[in-house]
């Protein structure tokens, strides 16, 4: 299991370049967010639809970044591993609902553990969470790669980072 932290592009500024506005709440960013060309279709990881439905059932609203003109395109993973969509969390959401991201990751973790139940070979999940630090005017990406059970570690890393914000 590995968790890495890295700098990320300024999400609102990049969204504006692409003709979009960041909606409130948890937001799925397209996989090509950093490299997309204005007018190009956003490409979301195929699991975005599943995760959206899971979170809706749990009462956790999530939005997808869009330009309002495009239908989202999906990247489908043809391996046996599982990749979550990129989740963006703004400073205001972290302040107003500090446990929303933990709850969302818990719902996802439970689903993925059940999905892989009975599978004999090891499965890897990949997750990326982008967190805004408005005071420092920075955006941090936490990337997790490991077993479904290890998502709890990502939640801990996010909480530690959000305390600094």
Q: Are 72 and 45 in contact (CB under 8 A)?
A: no
Q: What is the pLDDT of residues 144-162, one digit of tens each?
A: 999 888 888 888 888 777 7
- The pLDDT tens digits for 19-48 are 888 988 899 999 999 998 887 778 888 788
| Burial of residue 151 (number of CB atoms within 10 Å: 0-12, 13-18, 19+) | buried
pLDDT digit string (tens) for 85-104? 999 998 888 888 888 888 99
- Residue 149's pLDDT is 85
Q: Which pLDDT does position 120 carry in this prediction?
A: 66
Per-residue pLDDT, 69: 62
More confident residue, 121 or 56: 56
CB 130 within 8 A of CB 29: yes
pTM exceeds cut of 0.75: yes
For 1-85, strand residue ranges (E) read: 2-7, 26-29, 43-45, 62-64, 73-75, 82-83
Mean pLDDT confidence for 93-122: 85
């Amino acid at each position: 299991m590995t968790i890495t932290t890295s700098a990320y592009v300024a999400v609102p500024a990049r969204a504006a370049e692409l003709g979009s506005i960041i909606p409130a709440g948890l937001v799925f960013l397209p996989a090509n967010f950093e490299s997309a060309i204005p007018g190009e279709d956003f490409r979301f990881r195929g699991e975005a639809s599943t995760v959206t439905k899971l979170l809706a059932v749990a009462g956790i609203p999530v939005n997808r970044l869009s330009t309002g003109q495009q239908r989202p395109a999906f990247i489908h993973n043809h391996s046996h591993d599982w990749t979550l969509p990129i989740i963006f969390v703004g400073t205001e959401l972290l302040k107003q609902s500090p446990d929303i991201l933990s709850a969302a990751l818990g719902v996802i973790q439970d689903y993925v553990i059940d999905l892989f139940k009975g599978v004999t070979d090891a499965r890897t999940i990949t997750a990326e969470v982008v967190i805004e630090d408005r005071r420092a005017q920075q955006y941090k990406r936490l990337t997790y790669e490991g077993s479904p059970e290890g998502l709890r570690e990502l939640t801990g890393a996010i909480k530690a980072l959000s305390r600094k914000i």
